[in-house]
Amino acid sequence: MIDEVNQQALFRRTAAIVHHGDAGTTTTAAAAGRPQTPTLRAGSQDRGAGAYGRCESCGGTADGALIRQMQAVAAWYVNGMKILAVVLLLLLAVSACTATQQGEPKKEAWLTGKLTFRKVESVTPMSAPSSALSSGRPTPQNEAGDQAVQTARATRQSKDATIRKQVLSTLDCAAPDPLVGNDDEAAPLVTCDSGEAKYDLGPVFLDGDRVVKAKASPSEYGNGHVVTVEFDDQGARTWSDFTTANVGNQVAMLINGRVLSAPSIESPITGGTTQITGQFTADQADQLARQLVGR
């Protein structure tokens, strides 16, 4: 079987050689410096007789058992190499997939909600910074039809300013919030920011659906990153009218009903653009910008 290949080249790449004791094979194996084990010393080879050759030491023609053993070993080797090749391909695929995943920024679940704008009616600073967000900002945990959502809406989104004022004084921003992602946009809202203040807000007057462009960039003040947004024509008019009518007041920008920032309006903003701040990391700002334009 090996007569058809270059034995010298083959043996140099072989860990060990099992052969029939032919002098040429023995010499070549020794020259290659490989371990060798002679089995039957083959005489004239008769491939057509179903035997590999003559066994002069055993006085007759060797039956097909040896060749079948060698064929079985060869088949095992070939199949093993095929399996090894498949395993290597799978490992390469997993490695490539893992590298791609590691190269992608981790998405923040709390940033996947809707962007809304509300007028700030009043602000109550917390007596001490809250640890509510020590393990991350809150994400939606309830369905809109849950009883907890309906109960919270009845108080924190009451049209009665007296009720909202009472709720504002007792609201625990560290407690689970059923209104995260479930606030009624047409009603006022008592809510929290990242842990420094509580807010009584008016109804939503503008939302992220009016954003046509969004770009993340480092803050010019060196405090995290910001997202600059550009509104469509209707959004630009709404933003211009609101900022013109509310110079000196604050406007809250929210995600999932939680305040990202509440800047004071120093002058009318008529250009149809604004900046969203919130001490974002670069990845968070990029995620929000992409989300706002549907990317």
Residues in the chain: 295
Q: Domain locations in the chain?
A: 2-103, 109-292
CATH class of 109-292: alpha beta
The CA distance from 281 to 226, in Å, is 9
pLDDT higher at 236 or 107: 236
SS3 content of the chain, % helix, strand, coil (to 5): 35, 25, 40
141-170 pLDDT, tens digit each: 889 889 999 999 999 999 999 999 999 999
| pLDDT (mean) for 124-146 | 73
pLDDT at 28 over 90: no
Q: What does residue 62 show for φ and ψ, rounded to 5 degrees?
A: -65, 140
| Residue where the block lists tokens 């939302």 | 207
Distance of CA 127 to the CA centre of its chain: 37
Three-class DSSP category at 189: strand
68-114 pLDDT, tens digit each: 666 676 676 677 777 887 778 888 777 665 544 455 667 788 888 89
| pLDDT (mean) for 268-282 | 91
| pLDDT (mean) for 121-129 | 84
* Alpha-carbon distance values, 120 to 93, 156, 224, 238, 247 (Å): 52, 14, 24, 16, 12
SS3 string of 241-285?
A: HHHHHCCCCEEEEEECCEEEECCECCCCCCCCEEEEEEEECHHHH
pLDDT at 121 over 70: yes
Percent of the chain with pLDDT over 70: 67
pLDDT at 228 over 90: yes
The CA distance from 49 to 65, in Å, is 13
Among residues 199, 101, 217, 104, the alpha carbon closest in space to that of 157 is found at: 199
Kindly state the tokens that stand for 249. 């007041």
Mean pLDDT lowest among 93-102, 162-171, 196-205, 259-268: 93-102
